[in-house]
Amino acid sequence: MVRIKDIAQHEGKDVQLQGWMFNRRGSKRFVFMQIRDGSGFIQGVLNRDEVDEVLFDQIKRLPLESSVTVTGTVAADTRSKLGYELHVKDVRVIQSAQEYPIGKKEHGPDFLMQHRHLWIRSRRQHVVLRVRHSLVKAIRDYFDDRGFLLFDSPLLTANACEGTSTLFETPYFGKMAYLSQSGQLYQEAGAMAFGKTYCFGPTFRAEKSATRRHLTEFWMIEPEVAFADNDDNMDLAEDFMATVIAKILDMHGDELRDVLGRDTTALEKTAEGDFPRISYDEAIDTLQRLHSECEDPETKQHLAIEWGSDFGGRHETELTKLYDRPVQVYDWPYAVKAFYMKRSERDPRLARCVDVLAPEGYGEIIGGGQREDNLEILEAAIQHHELDPADFTWFTDLRRYGSVPHAGFGLGLERTVAWVCGLQHVRETIPFARTIDRLNP
């Protein structure tokens, strides 16, 4: 049995394919079957004069998504993006499908998400989820090739990492446990043991947010490096992003452009590296200037911002419009960042951290920074955030036994896939999205 992705090796030969008929059109003399097998798509052509007439009429009426075994000759076809088509000699129907609910007409997002288990069969979703697969592999390869150890953080935790208001709680043998918001705290322990570690897994945020950028369950890549400061961290983030995006363009550039209609100019710029770096102060000055110059009342309202505030989605969108590649915004107000961030020695109002904002309005895809390595300052921060010090004894131990400067970041996989693919919503970037209003399928 031949896979469609390997069809070029069989030009001029008879082959058998197994798959599903995802589209069909016909005339009196021909039936054109669009066949998919999970590895690709190919057109199969039935000629009434060359196949059994009963078979021809059967395939002409065969419902979409019926499963089939197709026998035919591989022929070159310059009109096809694949470069080949199949001249069909025989078709064995494994199962004649019921009427397929996803037709050629336009369907709304709610309908498509309700039928997500079927929607993932479409050509568009194939590209998106293959890009996701390739991103995962490219990310793992990047860190593995540079001596990082995969160090898995637990998903059940006793403490908060990013704030207690967004925790999912679950009973745990008479205690209360929480679904992990981030693997970062445990990566700090890993970095103190192995020097360079990363984790790659699901994280959970109980944020009641219905924006196009938010999921309640999403995947994070979180590297951590000992003997590193935030400048080293920004260097790593830039090289990481440039390397991974270059690989994705090499593997999927044509699909992004041809199937998704993605203009890849910003991705090509990203692959070059050389990301602009601006301080939070500079970003605030720019946003306030954009606010004063803005003539649209609605946009002007959303652009209003004062020093000390975190950025909203509109702020990130308008700021990134000024750049042709990701921009790194560093040295944020200490008050808006997590308790474990390193307080700036130059200006104690600031934290030594960074957000990497993707261009084209996609906003933050990386957040990270240097961690607080001073025991007394960290303990004070835990108390200031009204967290239970007993839950963090193991974490503060890392500052008692050989504390060193260290830094790291987290990249949201789904936001990155959305940006790479040019999608308007992150719900298409994961096989089965979990949002505030969707737990099924």
Give the pLDDT confidence of 347-403 residue by residue, as tens digits. Answer: 999 999 999 999 998 999 999 999 999 999 999 999 999 999 999 999 999 999 999
Q: What is the pLDDT of residue 280?
A: 98
Same domain as 372, residue 255: yes
Phi and psi at residue 91, in whole multiples of 5°?
A: -135, 130
Same domain as 11, residue 51: yes
Mean pLDDT of the chain: 95
Strand partners, 438: 435
Same domain as 205, residue 351: yes
Q: What is the pLDDT of residue 163?
A: 61
- CB within 8 Å of 298: residues ≥ 6 apart: none
- CB within 8 Å of 67: residues ≥ 6 apart: 18, 19, 20, 93, 94, 95, 97
Rounded Cα gap, residues 233 and 224, in angstroms = 9
Q: What is the pLDDT of residue 164?
A: 65
Same domain as 137, residue 72: no
Q: What is the pLDDT of residue 160?
A: 67
CATH number of the domain encompassing residue 380:
3.30.930.10
The residue segments making up the domain with residue 272 are: 117-276+323-429
Rounded Cα gap, residues 252 and 138, in angstroms = 12
Give the pLDDT confidence of 72-100 residue by residue, as tens digits. Answer: 999 999 888 899 999 999 999 999 999 99
Same domain as 147, residue 248: yes
Q: What is the pLDDT of residue 81?
A: 85
- Residue 302 belongs to a domain: no
Question: 202 preceded by cis ω (within 30°)?
Answer: no
- Residue 196 belongs to a domain: yes
CA-closest candidate to residue 270, choices 237, 303, 301: 237
- Residue 435 belongs to a domain: no
**Secondary structure (DSSP) of 328-363:** EEEEEEGGGS-TTBPBPSS-TTEEEEEEEEETTTTE
Confidence band of 207 (pLDDT split at 50, 70, 90): confident
Rounded Cα gap, residues 136 and 247, in angstroms = 11
Same domain as 156, residue 240: yes
Same domain as 213, residue 84: no
Give the pLDDT confidence of 280-300 residue by residue, as tens digits. Answer: 999 999 999 999 999 888 889
- Residue 74 belongs to a domain: yes
Rounded Cα gap, residues 67 and 4, in angstroms = 15
Same domain as 173, residue 24: no
Q: What is the pLDDT of residue 319?
A: 95
| Cα R_g (the chain), whole angstroms | 26
Domain end (from 62, 95, 128): 95
Same domain as 250, residue 199: yes
Q: Are 80 and 35 in contact (CB under 8 A)?
A: no
- Residue 102 belongs to a domain: no
- How many Cα neighbours within 13 Å face the side chain of 27? 5
Rounded Cα gap, residues 265 and 260, in angstroms = 14
* Angle of CA points 352, 358, 362, to nearest 5°: 120
- Residue 108 belongs to a domain: no
Strand ranges in 248-346 using DSSP code E only, listed in sequence order: 277-279, 327-333
Same domain as 376, residue 337: yes
Confidence band of 162 (pLDDT split at 50, 70, 90): low
Give the pLDDT confidence of 393-432 residue by residue, as tens digits. Answer: 999 999 999 999 999 999 999 999 999 999 999 999 999 9
- Residue 372 belongs to a domain: yes
* The total number of structural domains that make up the chain: 2
Strand ranges in 341-424 using DSSP code E only, listed in sequence order: 350-358, 363-370, 406-412
Rounded Cα gap, residues 46 and 59, in angstroms = 9
- CB within 8 Å of 136: residues ≥ 6 apart: 200, 413
Is the pLDDT assigned to residue 161 strictly greater than 80?
no
Work out the number of other CB atoms within 10 angstroms of the CB of residue 392.
19
- CB within 8 Å of 413: residues ≥ 6 apart: 132, 135, 136, 218, 219, 220, 221, 429
Q: What is the pLDDT of residue 9?
A: 96
Q: What is the mean pLDDT of residues 255-268?
A: 97
Rounded Cα gap, residues 40 and 59, in angstroms = 21
Give the pLDDT confidence of 22-67 residue by residue, as tens digits. Answer: 999 999 999 999 999 999 999 999 999 999 999 999 999 999 999 9
Q: How far is CA 74 from CA 1, 211, 434, in A?
A: 13, 47, 42
CATH number of the domain encompassing residue 19:
2.40.50.140
- Residue 300 belongs to a domain: no
CA-closest candidate to residue 81, choices 131, 34, 121, 130: 34
Q: What is the pLDDT of residue 166?
A: 82
Comparison of pLDDT for 268 and 314, the residue scoring more: 268
